[in-house]
Amino acid sequence: MAVFMKALLPGTTAEQYDALNAELQALPGDTFAGCLSHVCVPTDAGLEIYDLWESREAMDRFGALVMPIAEKQGMPQASGPPAVSPVHNYWVPGA
């Protein structure tokens, strides 16, 4: 079942996000396997991340991969666990 995830990253800058994303993209294999959509929104407080994942398991696999890299880069920690909700329906225009 698909899940929608919202994470709040107070104190995180777009530059920190870009550095993390670059390191993730340089990893071998399909680092983002199972991610159907991703949005990063800068705010006055930091960043908001919105993801649509094909399953909770895919989201958890990515989380286990990204967290050590984010910690190594010294990124601020999230304000708590992400909000995760089951998805009733989604579609992608033109797909």
pLDDT at 95 over 90: no
Within 1-95, residue ranges assigned H as helices are: 14-26, 56-72
Ramachandran quadrant class, 91 (left: phi over 0; alpha: psi -120 to 50; beta: rest): beta
Q: What is the pTM of this model?
A: 0.91
CB atoms within 10 A of CB 34: 19
Mean pLDDT is lowest, of 42-46, 65-69, 79-83, 84-88, for: 79-83
Pairing mode of beta strands 3-10, 35-42 = unpaired
Q: What confidence category does residue 44 fall into, taking pLDDT thresholds of 50, 70 and 90?
A: very high
User: Which whole-number Å values give the CA distances from 33 to 19, 28, 47, 57, 76, in the listed order?
Assistant: 20, 12, 22, 11, 25
